[in-house]
Amino acid sequence: MPQETVLSNARIVLENEIVTGSILIRDGLIAGMDSGHSDQGEDMAGDYIIPGLVELHTDHLESHYSPRPGVVWDALAALQAHDAQVAASGITTVFDCLRLGSDEDSGFQKGEMRTIADAIRCASSEDRLRASHFIHLRCEVSASDVLEHFADFHGDPQVKLASLMDHAPGQRQFQTLDQYTLYYKKKRGLNDADFDRFMARRIEESNRYAAPHRKAIVEACNKHRIAIASHDDATVEHVAESRAFGVRVAEFPTSMEAAKASHETGMAVLMGAPNVVRGKSHSGNISAKTLADAGVLDVLSSDYVPFSLIYAPFVLADEGGMSLSESIRLVTATPARTVGLADRGNIASGLRADLVRVRRPAGVPVVRSVWREGRRVA
């Protein structure tokens, strides 16, 4: 017998409008919708039903795997804790970022990210997880060992996205030294002489490794059909390079110039949902709201706060620059479409029944229930 669920009397957020009615779920898929009041099924009492959120870039798993300096948690336990928080935030598809290459924070040892990836595969096969998990490889192209770390993921079908990052001073996110000094000198407690040596080493590594590593990773991604993201593009020259590489996602452009050029080129411009909620970038770069007002914001990412992904669309809609349907697209339909996930991101017959019940009386929204493929997971 088919497994059926009816969610009735909801405000259903579609891609271009909000309608009041009911959703029929059958065998994990959306089987149909009806408008108007109904006495059948589970009464949503006028709450919103939105598509399950699609998260392309979250570093949150790292904070569970290494919750304190020098502390490493069991990978499977860390993943389950991360997954529970993700699902409770309405995220039903998540691309977990795994950091490759020893960067300014020394990174992780070779094999650690592979251990986490193996935990994701194991947990998925054992039905331990609430959300669907994929892998996003964050590749620090200026690191000498990034290709060695990247090789650990050769042929892994979990890998669906890779981003090209260079956090050296004078590059992209840190084109001026003010923010770099604030972020690294104070964070690491370096004196002037040690900080100068640190910067010199990072600049030398970027000059030596960034270009060949970027080229090698792009070639591997194109061969294995892994979507590519740029990271912190700041100039039209950066955007032109990204376009030549076949980049689909422009993550966190640091200037209006770069954001507009990326959007006009057809890349999906991704910004942080915490940036929207806070009203500014934590690193002093351009605000996501400014890009939204200019019509060049395409995707939001929770980055380091999972709940921000459900919160930010309501903030944008409240501020009047876009409708709720439009702002919800930033966290559902557009990210799914950008990475080729055609089976989710909208509420339409035949798609996965990845759904979130949201009550929003005022201020912070409340996630009431979450379904992944028709199964209640939160």
Q: What's the confidence (pLDDT) of residue 203?
A: 83
d(CA 350, CA 296): 30
pLDDT at 360: 95
* CA pair distance 16, 36, nearest whole angstrom: 18
Question: Cα angle at 315 between 310 and 316, to 5 degrees?
Answer: 105
Give me the pLDDT at residue 1, please.
61
Nearest of 242, 291, 234 to residue 265 by alpha carbon: 242
| pTM score, whole prediction | 0.92
Tell me, what's the pLDDT at 6? 97
Instruction: In whole angstroms, give the CA distance from residue 17 to residue 363.
Output: 22
Count Cβ atoms below 10 Å from residue 63 Cβ, excluding itself: 15
Token pair in block for residue 269:
């411009």
* Low pLDDT (below 50) residues in the chain: none
Ranges of beta strands (E only) in 46-102 are 48-51, 53-58, 91-100
Token code pair at residue 348: 């339409």
pLDDT at 110: 84
Q: CB count, 10 Å around CB of 340? A: 10
Note the pLDDT of residue 96.
98
d(CA 257, CA 235): 6
Residue where the block lists tokens 């799914």: 336
Position 187 scores a pLDDT of 64
pLDDT of residue 190: 72
CA-wise closest residue to 173 among 254, 286, 59, 259: 254
- pLDDT on residue 194: 76
Amino acid at 327: S
Distance of CA 245 to the CA centre of its chain: 21
Looking at the chain, the number of H-run helices and the number of E-run strands are 14, 16
Evaluate whether 229 touches 245 at the Cβ level (below 8 Å). Answer: no
Kindly give, in sequence order, each residue whose CB lies less than 8 Å from that of residue 281, ignoring residues fewer than 6 positions away.
Answer: 272, 275, 287, 288
Tell me, what's the pLDDT at 244?
A: 95
Cα–Cα distance list, 98 to 136, 182, 234, 337, 366 (Å) = 6, 25, 24, 22, 29
Q: Which domains does the chain have, with CATH numbers?
A: 52-344 (3.20.20.140)
Residue 279 has a pLDDT of 84
What is the per-residue pLDDT for 177?
60
